[in-house]
């Protein structure tokens, strides 16, 4: 009975640990999608900015897209390793403020303010070495989650071996006891009934 209770607990713990690994993998997929979006906006903005006669409307749209997509990507990088709900919510609030300011500049058709915002945001992110820090934190979380799954699986195998050995021992003992009981009965029966 105790082994079946432990087995049930281990299965639940394994399910939770496996879900954590899956959550981390999904968060990486979000980052990958954001990164593609960010790169496309940055390329479009850079190409238009470097033209000999750039179109101000295109500059405004692409600069707003670049700022917004960088803010989205960076916030998702932060959120996937957020240490608390408060940190998570602060990251969302900061992203919303950046995107709102970018939209304000875009509505005013102020592409130079958007370009400055993009340049400053990009420099700040690069100078803080945030990408390396966030990637290291994420890798550590993924490693810890996978190690936890491996630990639980090893414990489950251990309990399975223990349970199998106990069942085998129980079967042997009951067979030996049954054999003894039959021999005892045989001795107690009159010789004519044997």
Residue corresponding to tokens 């405004």: 60
Confidence band (pLDDT; 50, 70, 90) for 194?
low
Instruction: State the Cα–Cα distance between residues 84 and 78, nearest whole angstrom.
Output: 11
pLDDT tens, 33-61?
999 999 999 999 999 999 999 999 999 99
> pTM higher than 0.85, yes or no?
no
Calculate the alpha carbon distances from 170 to 2, 102, 174, 177 in Å: 15, 73, 6, 10
Segments making up each domain of the chain, as ranges:
2-151, 157-193
pLDDT tens, 60-87?
999 999 999 999 998 998 888 888 999 9
């Amino acid at each position: 009975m105790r082994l079946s209770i432990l087995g049930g607990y281990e299965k639940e713990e394994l399910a939770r640990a496996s879900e954590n690994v899956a959550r981390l993998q999904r968060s990486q997929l979000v980052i990958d999608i954001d990164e593609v979006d960010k790169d496309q906006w940055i390329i479009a903005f850079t190409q238009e900015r470097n033209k000999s006669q750039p179109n101000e409307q295109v500059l405004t749209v692409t600069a707003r897209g670049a700022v917004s997509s960088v803010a989205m990507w960076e916030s998702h990088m932060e959120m996937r390793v957020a240490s608390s709900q408060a940190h998570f919510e602060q990251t969302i609030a900061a992203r919303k403020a950046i995107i709102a300011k970018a939209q304000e500049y875009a509505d005013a058709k102020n592409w130079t303010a958007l370009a400055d915002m993009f340049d400053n945001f990009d420099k700040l992110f690069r100078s803080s070495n945030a990408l390396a820090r966030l990637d290291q934190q994420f890798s550590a979380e993924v490693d810890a989650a996978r190690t936890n799954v491996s630990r639980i699986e090893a414990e489950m195998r251990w309990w399975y071996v223990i349970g199998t050995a106990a069942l085998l021992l129980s079967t042997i003992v009951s067979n030996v006891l049954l054999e003894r009981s039959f021999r005892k009965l045989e001795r107690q029966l009159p010789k004519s009934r044997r």
